[in-house]
Chain A
């Protein structure tokens, strides 16, 4: 059987697959994941930091038994560090050896030197290689950090799933990898790239779902505390902060609170651990004093 048989056959099956791996996704996210798998199209996930965009790629690779190849983007990312590079040191040695044995046939030397064994494969090239377990999951993380020139380069790879190496020829993927592209929107991504992908905005989860996430990710947390944590975080998201806490921060905070043996939220405990939730000094300053009391009171009143 081909590897595609492992793909879920419906949106519900996709949802189950993700849930089984501990990723409690909204139905809309499961729908686009299913579509991306079914249609073989890259999935472009945008959303605030810490809402689980990167996690989905990890979970998918684990659930489908595929290799996960991650390309972390940064300013100045170029073909040499994203696609391939020649192992110049080894090539140099090969040239010296050829010289030493008196072999000076230039064409022969050239084809020896630019052989695959001197090629250092970077994530994008690795993702195009055949794999026994089926095409890998390729995570292109935080694309907004790379510069426009790299984005333009990705266009070719994402539409044709092939790379041209001048010395070797074109490498084409036998089966297109499952591509997940994420962006935190620190910069707009060009429409041309988005057009090649299925687009989905990953939002903060509902209180109910976040509660379920906290319970599954922070075992040993009491029902009361998890309820309060989620209500508090949800209330914080309504406030006008520069950086609202994401799900990742909620989990961090819940873990921190259980480590401190907190039974319930008190102004003291919240004040001490606020740094797990808010990452800007301005935001933390705004949450001190009366504002904290008020939000805390609202969050703890219904539990």
Chain B
């Protein structure tokens, strides 16, 4: 198929490419102005009569992640089937960034601060919200179940979580840096140093290996049964993401969603909002084994490679508890350095692993911890900072 509207005057090509880039941006692809110039240059060197070549060329420039390829293909199809109509459409519709712009998160908080939100008022007396929590209240808060907290208390906890100092359990990398007590000889700096004295006295310089915080991968269950906890956990994960470089966060209910990028937004409210907008199955059912399967297959090798610690946050109430669950849990366990299962159900004193799903998952975790109040999160942070048990320090695990 030949594209007539691309052949005639050059001005039209430029218009089309710019319009197309705008359409892609509206569809969520990060297309910068540099890419548009690249595209125009590239179109000058290929035969633009061939639709497939134009497609590949533009794809090579505009698409930088495999996930975007499908969106690109659809946009290309739509756009270059009826470029003129599309152009009109773009003219009449307000620009995406203006149309979609959310109120800045800070202003929302200001508004909330001025007028208390209606949603939680039914449950609590207004005067309680005004009182600043005293030290003893703080102690109560430590033990209080997240599920029973009022809005004000949740806000308090959120702040407490953000203020917690985060674990820095470190892994040795293979990169080096100058280190007086290092084991490797830094010949280059030694030589440079000795030249200063005319080559006489050799002051030995050394290199040591750099330690880096271990990557953390969190898998958070957002099914209906976990709904009272998810928001706070997201705050916790946001706080971790903010403090560290290598944190990946996945949400799962009936399907798995990677929200790492969404959580990177500095402001917690903005991060959580963009997180929830990227998830389609919020507070729905649970399919742990299917979600773990997706994770193991698509993401495991990409995010667990560098000795990651996995936080699996779930109540383990799985409907389809079968051999597949065991298999996926086992695989997850074998591909990470340490698998910590955080389960809010553990808050009940006489908790016993009776549910089939929990029974199947338990043998494959390194640690099983409660996570339902502030002190349990603090406990978790301590556990994360601790030096992992000796057999976990080696990246090569004994066969399970």
Task: Tell me the A residues contacting B by CB distance below 8 Å.
Answer: 10-11, 27-28, 31-32, 34-35, 38-39, 41, 46, 75-76, 78, 80, 85-86, 88, 91-92, 95-96, 98-99, 104, 106, 109-110, 113, 147-149, 185-188, 191, 194-195, 198-201, 240, 242, 282
Contact with A along B35-50 (1 / 0, CB 8 A): 1001001100111001
Given A35-B60, A187-B305, A195-B34, the answer on whether A75 and B173 have CB atoms closer than 8 Å is yes
> 6 additional contacts, CB 8 Å, given A76-B174, A99-B200, A185-B301?
A75-B174, A76-B175, A104-B198, A113-B191, A187-B305, A199-B63
- Please tell me if the beta carbons of B297 and A199 are within 8 angstroms of each other in the complex: no
Q: Identify whether the interface residues of B are mostly helix, strand, loop, or mixed.
A: helix
B188 within 8 A of A: yes
Pick out which of these stretches binds chain A: B51-59, B109-117, B137-145, B265-273.
B51-59
Residues in chain A near residue B176, CB distance under 8 A: 78
Q: How large is the interface on B (under 10, 10 to 19, 20 to 34, 35 or more residues)?
A: 35 or more
Closest to A99 in B: B199
Across the interface, A27 reaches (CB within 8 A) one of B47, B52, B187, namely: B52
How close is B55's CB to chain A, nearest CB, in angstroms? 8
B331 within 8 A of A: yes
Across the interface, A147 reaches (CB within 8 A) one of B66, B175, B297, namely: B175
B391 within 8 A of A: no
Across the interface, B188 reaches (CB within 8 A) one of A39, A41, A88, A201, namely: A88
Task: Tell me the B residues contacting A by CB distance below 8 Å.
Answer: 30, 32, 34-35, 38, 41-42, 45-47, 50, 52-53, 55-57, 59-61, 63-66, 69, 173-176, 187-188, 190-191, 194-196, 198-200, 245, 296-297, 301-303, 305-306, 327, 331
Residues in chain A near residue B32, CB distance under 8 A: 195
Q: Identify whether the interface residues of A are mostly helix, strand, loop, or mixed.
A: helix
- In Å, the complex CA distance between A46 and B60 comes to 11
- In Å, the complex CA distance between A235 and B45 comes to 39
Given A28-B52, A194-B64, A195-B34, the answer on whether A109 and B198 have CB atoms closer than 8 Å is yes
Given A35-B46, A195-B64, the answer on whether A88 and B191 have CB atoms closer than 8 Å is yes
Residues in chain B near residue A85, CB distance under 8 A: 188
Across the interface, A188 reaches (CB within 8 A) one of B46, B302, B306, namely: B302
